[in-house]
Structures are given as structure tokens and as C-alpha cells.
Amino acid sequence: MTMHGDHEQGHGHHHHHGHHDGPERHAHGSGHGNGHGDGQDDGRGGRDRFPPPRADAEISHYFDHIYLSAGHDRNAKRTVWVVWLTAATMVVEIVFGWITGSMALLADGFHMATHAGALAVAAAAYGYARRHARNPRFTFGTGKVGDLSGFASALLLGVTALFIAVESGMRLFEPVDVRFGEATLVAVIGLAVNLLSALLLGHDHGHDGGHDGGHDGHDHGAGQDHKHSDNNLRAAYVHVLTDALTSVLAIVALMAGRYLDWWWMDPAVGLLGAVVIARWAWGLMKDTAAILLDTAEPALMARVRDLTEAEGAVIRDLHVWRVGPHAHAAIISIAPGADSAAVRARVSALPRMEHVTVETV
């Protein structure tokens, strides 16, 4: 391997941590080593996994790969507010359902408990990502913790959709008596709570979620499509929307059953709601799974390849993946003869390209 770079420590790597706006991270310059030449012998002829103990500042220099979204802490606070709002509604419904003997209130109260739990997972993911942002075990930071949480939420939504579909199908063939007055009241309460929750999450979802359109640095030509969202916030938002949807459908069905005697409307809209929720869950699951498996965005991969070859470099190997909301990384292996520093500079200029390594092999 030919050696290039600002430091030559047993490899030809050129590192760069971008200086673009967007994700929160610590930029510590380019050209630092990977520690191949600094590790201590492990007694088996190899090297330690991490460099030897250093001063705190030096450790921070080695391991500060913070790729959290710019709105990470704000999104975390809003998610916590929604958790408390949902939990408070859950307690009120269960208490009043117990006092009044209303099964409708009790049932919706326990339904709210499942959503409070899912939202609590999202809030916990924000806290975990922040708390371990500088943990050296996470060599590319904790920017994908939210995607893991989003995937778990998508699975839970899928199970919820299946449960609703099965229950609704059973009620089509075995109708049950519905106390329309109480059930309608519960549906209205649930809708009000979810609309308020959507307002709390909605503004940030528009900036960090799956609907970012037209914001600065939004370069679709470089493969930066809508999948650069904060999927943890997106998952919380989808939970709120699915609950609001079921409340609206329930109100429509209950009104039809109460005034038109269309008893079949209740299970029918239940099936419709299950289909919609399942589609939302599937979309969220696909997007988060692709990120967790380091699937490259084709347009971004092509852009990196074009910029590298524009410097006359012959690509031997190329890896591009997402390391957090609004943040990507690239490792480019090129044949000897090209200017690795020039390649690194070109690729690092891409929007949201936060970590670039160029090596000559």
C-alpha cells in the first residue's frame, strides 16, 4: 500500500470530517491517523482495539464522531412532552373507566398505554444517543440509534395493524353490542389528545422528518432525498397519526351505527384503518432497515464516484453509507498515481458528507 496523507502511520488513509451545517458533531480536522502505529501489543502479535490511555482531550480527538441531527435535543424534549400527555390521558381514562364501569374508557386507556410505551422508547433512544455520543465503542457515533428505535416502532405498528384486522374481521361475523355514546366520547378525547400531540411533534417533523422539502443544503442531485430524516421522530409522529386516524374512523363508524343502524361500519373501518397503518409501518420499516444495513443511496454513490474519477483516480473500492440524520460517510480506495488529498477535498464538499477516508492501494 502506498502511503499518502498528512501523517503516515502505517497506512495511506486520508481522513476528513466535514464542516457542513446540519448534524451536530465535533470536527477535528483531517489527516489524523487510525492509531495503527500507536496501539500496544496484545501478546498475540497484534494490536489493542483502541489506542493506549491518553489525556481526555486526546481521547476526545480520537473518538468524537457526533452525527446527531441539529434538532436532536429539541426533538427529544417534544417527544417527552407527548409521552407525558399520552400517559396522563391514559391514567384519566383508566380511572374514570373504573369509576363509571365503562369498558370503552378502560379499553382506550390501555390502548393509550401501548402508545405511551412506544413513544417512551423513542424518548429513551434520544437520551441514549446523546449520553453515548462520545463513547469510543461507537466508532461512527450514535447517529443511527434513532433508526433502530424507528425500526422497533415499525414492528410494533405492524403488530397493532394485524391485531386490529383480526379483531375487526371477527366482529364482522360475530357482531357485538356497542355503547355508542360512551365509545364516541372516548374517540373524541383520543382525537383531541392526538391532534395536540401532532402539533407538538409536527413542526420539527417538517424539518427533521420525512417531509423536508426545499431547505438549505437539500441536494437531490447528490442523492440527498427524503430518507435523510430523523426516523426516531418520524416513528413517534407516525404513532400519533395512526392513533388520530383510528379515532376519526371510529367517530365516523359510531355515528353511522348510532343514527343509520349500520352496525357493520365499525368493523369495516377497523379493517380500513388496519390496512393504512400496515402501509405506514411497512414504509417506515423499509427505510429504517435500509439505513441499519448500510444500504447506499444510488445517486449519492454515483456522485462520489464521478467526483473521484474527475481527479483522474481509478477506484479500487468504494463504500458510502449513512451514519446519522443528515450525515454520510465514505471510504474510497484508489490506485496509486492520483492525488488523494484532492479527491478527499472534492468528496468532502458534498452536502452532508461528514466523514471521508481516501486510501491508496
Instruction: Give the residue-averaged pLDDT of 251-276.
Output: 87
What is d(CA 28, CA 287) in angstroms, rounded to the nearest whole number? 31
Q: In whole angstroms, how far apart are CA 9 and each of 5, 33, 35, 53, 134?
A: 9, 6, 7, 18, 24
Residue 359 has pLDDT above 90, yes or no: yes
Instruction: Give the residue-averaged pLDDT of 253-265.
Output: 87
pTM: 0.69
Q: Which of 102-106, 148-152, 215-219 has the highest mean pLDDT?
A: 148-152
Q: Which residue has the higher pLDDT, 226 or 82?
A: 82
Closest CA to 294 of 324, 334, 333: 324
Instruction: Give the residue-averaged pLDDT of 101-129.
Output: 76
Share of the chain above pLDDT 90, in %: 22
pLDDT for 67 equals 59
What is d(CA 269, CA 245) in angstroms, rounded to the nearest whole number? 10
Question: Tell me: the pLDDT tens digits for 184-196?
Answer: 888 888 889 889 9
Closest CA to 32 of 61, 1, 65: 61
Q: What are the b/e assignments for 9-47, b being 16+ CB within 10 Å?
A: eebbbbbbbbebebbbbeeeebebbbbeebeeeeeeeee
Residue 180 has pLDDT above 60, yes or no: yes
Residue 320's SS3 state is strand
pLDDT for 15 equals 52
pLDDT for 283 equals 92
- The model's confidence at residue 105, banded by pLDDT at 50, 70 and 90, is low
Residue 55 has pLDDT above 70, yes or no: no
Residue 37 has pLDDT above 50, yes or no: no
Q: Which residue has the higher pLDDT, 255 or 220?
A: 255
- The model's confidence at residue 296, banded by pLDDT at 50, 70 and 90, is confident
Which residue shows C-alpha cell 422539502? 213
- The model's confidence at residue 69, banded by pLDDT at 50, 70 and 90, is low
Instruction: Give the residue-averaged pLDDT of 114-138.
Output: 83
Residue 213 has pLDDT above 50, yes or no: no
What is d(CA 167, CA 175) in angstroms, rounded to the nearest whole number? 11
Q: Which of 215-219, 224-228, 332-336 has the highest mean pLDDT?
A: 332-336
Residue 203 has pLDDT above 90, yes or no: no
Residue 11 has pLDDT above 50, yes or no: no
Kindly report the average pLDDT of the chain as a whole number: 75
* Biggest alpha carbon–alpha carbon distance for the chain: 81
- The model's confidence at residue 65, banded by pLDDT at 50, 70 and 90, is low
pLDDT for 104 equals 56
Residue 211 has pLDDT above 60, yes or no: no
**Cell numbers for 339:** 492525488
Q: Which of 18-22, 79-83, 247-251, 343-347 has the highest mean pLDDT?
A: 343-347
pLDDT for 100 equals 60
User: Are 35 and 53 within 8 A, CB to CB?
Assistant: no
Closest CA to 152 of 350, 337, 285: 285
pLDDT for 24 equals 46
Task: Give me the helices (H) in 293-319, please.
Answer: 298-310
Residue 335 has pLDDT above 80, yes or no: yes
Residue 214 has pLDDT above 60, yes or no: no
- Note the residue count of the chain: 361
- The model's confidence at residue 342, banded by pLDDT at 50, 70 and 90, is very high
In the chain, what are the domains?
13-65+297-360 (3.30.70.1350), 72-292 (1.20.1510.10)
